[in-house]
Amino acid sequence: MTVQKEPDWITRNNFDYTTTKLDDQAEDGYVNLDFEKQTSLSQQSSYYKKAIRILSEAGVQNRSEINVSFDPSYNQLIFHSIRIIRENKSINKLQPYKIKLVHQETELRKFLYDGAMSAVLFLEDVRKGDIIEYSYTIKGFNPVFENKYSDELSTSYSVPIYNLFYKVIVPASRNIQIKNTISEVSYASKQSGSEKIYEWSLNNLPAVHLQDETPSWYDPYNAILISEFQNWKEVGNWAIKLFPVKVKFSSAMQKKIDEINTRYSKPEEKITAALRFVQDDIRYMGIEMGKNSHQPNAPDKVFNQRFGDCKDKSYLLCTLLRAMNIDAEPVLINTEYKKKLYECLPAPTNFDHVTVRVYLNGKFYWFDPTISFQRGSIDNISYPDYQCGLIISDTTTSLISIPVQEKGMVDIHEVYQVPDLSGRARLIIRTSFSGSFADDVRNDFHNNSVYEMQKRYKDYYGNYYDRISADSLVYADDEVTGKFNTTEYYSIMNLWQFDGTNRKGYFSPYTILNLLKKPQDAHRTMPFEIEYPAHYLEEVEVDLPEDWDVEPAEDNISCPAFKLQTQFWYYNRKLKLRYEYQSLKDHVSADETQDFISSYNRADQHIQYSLSFPDENVRHTTFHSNQGMKNLNKAYLLIAVLILIVAGAWWSRNL
C-alpha cells in the first residue's frame, strides 16, 4: 500500500454535495453522495472515489471506517485522499501509519481461501452532518484473464445515490462490447490519441427496493455490461487453456485408475466409482489466490493432497474418466444467475462454479463433484437446477441449456396410534428420500450424530405438540437405489386440545405445510420464488379407539407454479389423509401472483383435518350426570371438520 497523487488519466468531477432531495430514502444513517469508478485498460488500473454524508448517530456508528479490499498477489493499492468535510472546511484524514492491513477471508465458512486483504482505517472524530470523501486506485488485473477485460457497472442500487460516474479508457487496437441489462443508459465516447474513452454520468438515482422472496436469478438493478470477449467461443477457448486434456499422472493416481478399471467392467460402474471417490474422498477446500481464482490445480496435485474446490474436483473427475476412455468435460456454471446468463455478454467472470458432463451410449449425464455422499446408479444421481452452462470443449460456440436432472422425491407415512381419548398417542413417521432429497438428508446424517438428528427432528414436531418426546430414530441407506430411509418414534401426551367446550385433534401434512408459502408483497412487480424441484407425498393415518363417522373428500388444486392433490377417507377405525405436492417451476411471475394466491388459499383450506368430541368434565358440569355425558360423548364423536391453518416458517437450505 502506498500514497500518491491522483493519476493524470482520470476525469476530475466537482459534484454538488449540498442537495438533500434523496436523504429521506437513505438507510443506516448515511447517504451516498458520490461513487466513481474509472478504469484504464492500458494502465491496468481502476480509480475509485466515494463520498457519503452522515445523517445521524447511526451513520456515525456504521460508516466511520474506510475499508478497501484488494488481492496482494496481483494488486497494488494506492491511496490518494481521505478527508472529512465539515461546515465547508476540509479535514485531512489520510494518515498512512493508522491504516491497518488485515486478511479478509470472507469465505472461510465455505472453506475457500482467496488471500484477499483489506486496508482499514478507523476514522476519529466523525460527527453528524460530516461528509466523508476518499479516493484510491487499485493497480493490476488478474493475470488469469490474459489481459482481456470485462466488467459490470451497476447503475441502480437498493439505496439512493446522488452522483454516479464511470469511465473506461480502451486502447484503439482493442474492441469492447457494451450492453445494458434492463434499461438503456447513454454514454459519451471520444477518441484521445491512441485510446477511445467511454463515460457515463448519472445523477439523483432513487433506491430500487427488492420485493420479498425473489429468485436468485432475478436482478432488478440495472447494470452496464462490458466485455472484450466477442462471443462464447472465445470464452471457451480461454477456458480450454486452464483445463488441458493431456496431463501427467503420479504412480498413486495411476494406481487408482487401474484399481477402478480392474474392479469394474461396465463404464457405468466406473463412472460411479470415480464420482464417489472425488465426492467423498477429496474434501472441499479451495486456495484461490491470484490465477487460482479460475485456474484449477493439476489433477495429480489434487489427488495427492486430497482436497480441492469445485474446479479442482471437476477437473480431477474428468481426468480420471478420460483415463478410462470415458468422454467427460468440465462445465462452467453460475449457481445464482442460472438462465440469466443468456442475457449476459460473453465473459469468464460470469461463472462461479464448475461441474462435469459425461457422454455415454448416446446420452449425456451431469454430475456435481462438490456434492458429497450421492448414491444410486448414474441414471438416478441428481444434479442441481443450474439451467444452463458453458461446456469447456474445442467445439463449444454457445451456452447450452441443461435439463432438470431430478427424479427424486420425499415419501412420508405418519401413523398416529391412539389407544384412548386421554390424549396419549404414539406417532411413527417413516420417510423415504430419493434423488437430491436423499443427498441432503444423507449428508446431514454423515455430519451429525444420531442424537443431534433426533433432537432436531423432535424440536421440529415440538412446534406442534409441546408435550412430545422422542423415543428413537433409525435410518437405512440403500447405496444401490440411492434411497435413504428414516423411521422416527414419538410419544405424545396432549394429542387433544381443549377449546373451552370440545377436545380437538389436528392432523396435518407438516412437511408439505411448510412448503406452502405466499408472498408478503401480494401486489407483485417481481417474481416470487418457490422451492423447485419439489415432489412430496405425505400420508397421515390416525388409528382411532372408537368408530367415527367421517365424510370422505378429495380435491385437485393447480396453478402454473404448483399442483396439490388431497384425499381423505375412513375405514375400520382408521382415518386416512393423503397429500401429493409438486412444484412445476422455480417461481411465480408477477402476472401469475393472484392466481397463485387464490390456489394457495384454496390449498390452505384443505391442508388440515380435525376431529373433535365434547369434553367429559364440561358436559358433566352442564348435565350434572357423568353417565349422561358418556352417552353424549359417543353421539358427538360424529363431528369431523376441515379447518384453516396458516403455513409455518419454512427452514431452508449471495452497492
How is 466-500 classified by DSSP, letter by letter?
SSEEEEEEEEEE-TTT--EEEEEEEEES--SEE-S
CA 557 to chain centre: 28
Give φ, ψ of 499 to 5 degrees: -105, 15
- Provide the residue type at 526 as one letter: M
- Provide the residue type at 538 as one letter: E
Of the candidate ranges 38-47, 241-250, 406-415, 634-643, the one whose mean pLDDT is the lowest? 634-643
Give φ, ψ of 67 to 5 degrees: -140, 115
pTM of the model: 0.87
Going by their DSSP bridges, the two strands 425-433 and 400-401 should be labelled as: unpaired
CA neighbor of 206 nearest in space, from 153, 155, 165: 155
Q: CB burial class (10 A; 0-12, 13-18, 19+) of residue 426? A: middle
Q: Which residue has the cell 399442483?
A: 563
In this prediction, residue 112 has a pLDDT band, given cuts at 50, 70 and 90, of: low
Using one digit for the tens of pLDDT, what is the confidence trace for 159-168?
A: 999 999 999 9
What mean pLDDT is predicted for residues 421-435? Answer: 95
| pLDDT for the residue 610 | 86
| pLDDT for the residue 167 | 98
What mean pLDDT is predicted for residues 551-569? Answer: 92
Coil, strand, or helix at residue 59?
Answer: helix
Using one digit for the tens of pLDDT, what is the confidence trace for 35-86?
A: 999 999 999 999 999 999 999 999 999 999 999 999 998 999 999 999 999 9
Using one digit for the tens of pLDDT, what is the confidence trace for 385-423?
A: 999 999 999 999 999 999 998 989 999 999 999 999 889
Q: Which residue did the predictor score with more confidence, 110 or 87? A: 87
In this prediction, residue 278 has a pLDDT band, given cuts at 50, 70 and 90, of: very high
| pLDDT for the residue 43 | 96
How is 448-470 classified by DSSP, letter by letter?
S-HHHHHHHHHHHHHTT-SSEEE
Q: Give the Cβ contact number of residue 92 at 10 Å.
A: 9
| pLDDT for the residue 41 | 97
Of the candidate ranges 193-197, 444-448, 622-626, 635-639, the one whose mean pLDDT is the lowest? 622-626
pLDDT of 649 strictly over 90: no
In this prediction, residue 146 has a pLDDT band, given cuts at 50, 70 and 90, of: very high
- The percent of residues in the chain predicted with pLDDT above 90, rounded, is 79
Report how far residue 630's alpha carbon sits from residue 615's, in angstroms, rounded to the nearest whole number. Answer: 10
- Provide the residue type at 138 as one letter: I
How is 233-293 classified by DSSP, letter by letter?
HHHHHHHHHHS-S-----HHHHHHHHHHHHH--SHHHHHHHHHHIIIIISEE-EE--GGGG
| pLDDT for the residue 603 | 87
Tell me the CA distances in angstroms from 355 to 48, 314, 392, 434, 593, one per residue in order: 35, 6, 10, 21, 34
Output the average pLDDT for the chain.
90
Question: Which listed CATH number (2.60.40.10, 2.60.120.590, 2.60.40.3140, 3.90.226.30) goes with 2-228?
Answer: 2.60.40.3140
In this prediction, residue 105 has a pLDDT band, given cuts at 50, 70 and 90, of: low
Question: Which listed CATH number (3.30.428.10, 3.90.1150.10, 1.25.40.10, 2.60.120.1130) goes with 410-424+495-643?
Answer: 2.60.120.1130
The x, y and z cell numbers of residue 427, run together, are: 406417532
**Sign (positive or negative) of CA dihedral 23, 27, 33, 37:** negative
Report how far residue 238's alpha carbon sits from residue 592's, in angstroms, rounded to the nearest whole number. Answer: 41
In this prediction, residue 109 has a pLDDT band, given cuts at 50, 70 and 90, of: low
Using one digit for the tens of pLDDT, what is the confidence trace for 200-224?
A: 999 999 999 999 999 999 999 999 9
- Cβ(213)–Cβ(529) below 8 Å: yes
Report how far residue 316's alpha carbon sits from residue 274's, in angstroms, rounded to the nearest whole number. Answer: 9
| pLDDT for the residue 329 | 98
Using one digit for the tens of pLDDT, what is the confidence trace for 514-546?
A: 888 999 999 999 999 999 999 999 999 999 999
In this prediction, residue 291 has a pLDDT band, given cuts at 50, 70 and 90, of: confident
Question: Which 8-state DSSP code applies to residue 44?
Answer: T
pLDDT of 510 strictly over 80: yes
Domain range list for the chain = 2-228, 236-401, 410-424+495-643
Q: What is the number of alpha carbons within 13 Å of residue 529 lying toward its C-beta?
A: 14
What mean pLDDT is predicted for residues 563-578? Answer: 93
The CATH class, in words, for 236-401 is: alpha beta
Same fold across 2-228 and 410-424+495-643: no
The x, y and z cell numbers of residue 530, run together, are: 418457490
Report how far residue 444's alpha carbon sits from residue 226's, in angstroms, rounded to the nearest whole number. Answer: 42
- Cβ(142)–Cβ(291) below 8 Å: yes
What mean pLDDT is predicted for residues 280-295? Answer: 83
Using one digit for the tens of pLDDT, what is the confidence trace for 361-387?
A: 999 999 999 999 999 999 999 999 999
In this prediction, residue 248 has a pLDDT band, given cuts at 50, 70 and 90, of: confident
Give φ, ψ of 92 to 5 degrees: -70, 125
Report how far residue 602's alpha carbon sits from residue 595's, in angstroms, rounded to the nearest whole number. Answer: 11
- Cβ(387)–Cβ(339) below 8 Å: yes
Give φ, ψ of 332 to 5 degrees: -85, 135
| pLDDT for the residue 653 | 30
Q: Give the Cβ contact number of residue 334 at 10 Å.
A: 22
What mean pLDDT is predicted for residues 309-317? Answer: 96
pLDDT of 327 strictly over 80: yes
